[in-house]
Amino acid sequence: MSVIANTTVISNFACIGQLELLRQLHGKIYLAMEVYQEIQTGLAEGYLFYQTLEEQIYPWQETGWIILTSMVEEAEFLRFSELPAKLHPGEASSLVIAQQRGWLLLTDDLAARTQAKQRGVRLSGSLGELVLAVKRQHCSLEQANQWLNRMIELNYRSPVNDLTALLQ
């Protein structure tokens, strides 16, 4: 299944230097152009952890595993126009692309998650990705908890600070 990520999940993994974990889990991830623009704005505002992202994006890099995409179908534009204005363009475009194409949506944004659930879109977020990494043995539970707590230190608003209960 193809995967599209919103800025929140990309930011959480980029800020702790673990974007590669997302590559290990999914092989490739799609990024809506609106999300790419949000990341460029963040970089201009001084979020330097985004600097290494450019090296991973196709088509900027032939071997890039983060692939830029856009809404192209009429149904995507119609769904985009129906979403609440409180969703940022990156969240909204990622959501409608996931819905229209049957992709998994990676987001931590509560409003985007609520809309995705209402529309039957498959979801994961930073917590789900860390749990998946432990289950697939890409890291230990201890390592995943360290990464989670580092994300929290860097302003990720997580409902938990230990993944143990989520693994059961």
The string of DSSP codes covering 125-153 is: -HHHHHHHHHHTTSS-HHHHHHHHHHHHH
Report the 10 Å Cβ neighbour count for 126: 23
pLDDT of 6 strictly over 90: yes
- Tell me what the mean pLDDT of segment 70-98 comes to: 93
CB under 8 A, 24+ apart: contacts of 163-167? 163/127, 163/130, 163/131, 163/134, 166/127, 166/131, 167/131, 167/134, 167/135, 167/141
User: Of 151, 163, 112, 164, which Cα lies nearest the Cα of 19?
Assistant: 151
Q: What is the pLDDT of residues 69-83, one digit of tens each?
A: 999 999 999 998 998
Residue 101, classified by CB atoms within 10 Å of its CB into exposed (0-12), middle (13-18) or buried (19+), is middle
Indicate the class that CATH gives domain 3-167: alpha beta
- Tell me what the mean pLDDT of segment 149-164 comes to: 96
- What rounded mean pLDDT belongs to the chain? 95
CA distance 132 to 118: 24
Q: What is the pLDDT of residues 102-146, one digit of tens each?
A: 999 999 999 999 999 999 999 999 999 999 999 999 999 999 999
CA–CA distances in Å: residue 30 to residues 33, 36, 77, 94, 154: 10, 10, 18, 9, 24
Instruction: Report pTM.
Output: 0.94
